[in-house]
Amino acid sequence: MPLLEINFDGIVGPSHNYAGLSLGNLAATRSAGRVSHPRAAALEGLAKMRANMAEGPAQGFFVPLARPNAGWLAEIAADSGTDPALLAGAWSASSMWTANAATVSPAPDTADGRCHLTVANLVTMPHRSHEWRGTLAQLRLAFADAAHFAVHAPVPPCFGDEGAANHMRLASSHGEPGVEVFVYGKSGGPFPARQHEQASRIVARRHGLSRALFIEQSAEAIAAGAFHNDVVAVANEGVLFTHERAFADPAAAYAAMRAACPGLVVIEVPETAVNLPEAIRSYLFNAQLITPRSGEMTLVVPSESWESAPVRAWLERMLASNGPIRHVRVVDVRQSMANGGGPACLRLRVVANPTHVDPRFLLHEAKADLIEQVVRKYWPEAIDPAKLGDPALAEAVQNARARLLEALDLTELA
């Protein structure tokens, strides 16, 4: 079987809530204090997975991490006087955004011919900084075949690493050798730059990459709320879809990418068509750019993008131009969007032979039906963030996850 792109989506966890913990993520801070709907959120994500799978791309998933995280609470010596935000961090369901799970380099790009994955340390935000241990456990199960995969621990925490959300790959096709583009930021604005340049360089060296580019993200984009590069740019095979203000030096960035990937098509959305705040609010670029079975590239956008007049007008002009992106598909992931994560946040792209992956992490229709049954039966319908810490809620969340692990034969992750 040839190498395929597998999208691993995070199943939205039963503790999904709006505690507003992510500085610089404008949607998350706007939603702080709202009542969330974990069951609806998980079903939205599952529907997106089903729709992608129906078009041909292979689909995988990761399960929610254990919440509330008792280990984190012990590490911070939590008591009744602890900052509520730190306590809420133990309940965060943010591991659902698997674009931050790891950085992935497919076998054609690496020195030893294996697919390399480095779990992200996510140290910039306290509520995410304790995810990596649980994520690493799943990566080591899913990609346990050492002949074809190498799974790495996080880079040192002095170098902030946010995973694939700041990483793009350009190639003539997924199974061919490509160039990997690492996008980093520099601090100095109102919000932190979450991806450190040295973290990116460490990952590239670990993975044995001979072809890698390191490109600075626009400080203007970070200040406007593009906390990750995937909020303002996305790539697929030989296409880069980007806002004109995504990179610090766009002309130099495009020149470097074109030199490394001859034939690259850059689709740049100008500020005059969709301004940066609207691009970020609508998550136009936090879309999944995929090559379905038909071979006609498809952009999977959140409904918020299609409902934006300037974004929709631009997308319609793009489709009429008969460029490389031939279709736009709209998905409803409003629960995730309200916490600052669009369709692209919910998935990690892994180019590999699916037969080398632990089949328990691969989705098919019967398994999707099983997951849906568990979610409908056990996921809380609603969570008021004021209730975080309630013992009854904790028991319900823990039981829901346990039932899912049992159904999927993944109880070793308990």
Give the residue numbers annotated as catalytic, written as ranges.
Answer: 162, 228, 345
Cα 247 from Cα 214, distance rounded (Å): 11
Q: Decide if 233 contacts 259 (C-beta within 8 A).
A: no
Q: Got the DSSP string for 312-326?
A: HHHHHHHHHTT-SEE
Q: Which residues pair with 180 in a beta bridge?
A: 169, 212
Alpha-carbon distances of 163 from 220, 310, 391, rounded to whole Å: 21, 30, 33
Q: What is the three-state SS of 61-121?
A: EECCCCCCCHHHHHHCCCCCCCCHHHHHHCCCCHHHCHHHCEEEECHHHECCCCEEEEECC
One-character DSSP codes across 198-254: HHHHHHHHHTTBSSEEEEEBPHHHHHTT--SGGGTEEEETTEEEEETTSBSSHHHHH
CA pair distance 280, 283, nearest whole angstrom = 5
88: how many CB neighbours lie within 10 A of its CB?
22
Nearest to 288 by CA among 306, 300, 298: 300
Specify the residue for token string 């692209």.
344
Q: In DSSP terms, which residues pair with 151 in a beta bridge? A: 117
Q: Which of 289, 343, 348 is nearest to 102 (CA)?
A: 348
Residue 226 near residue 193 (C-beta atoms within 8 A): no
* Short-list 144, 142, 184, 145, CA closest to 163: 184
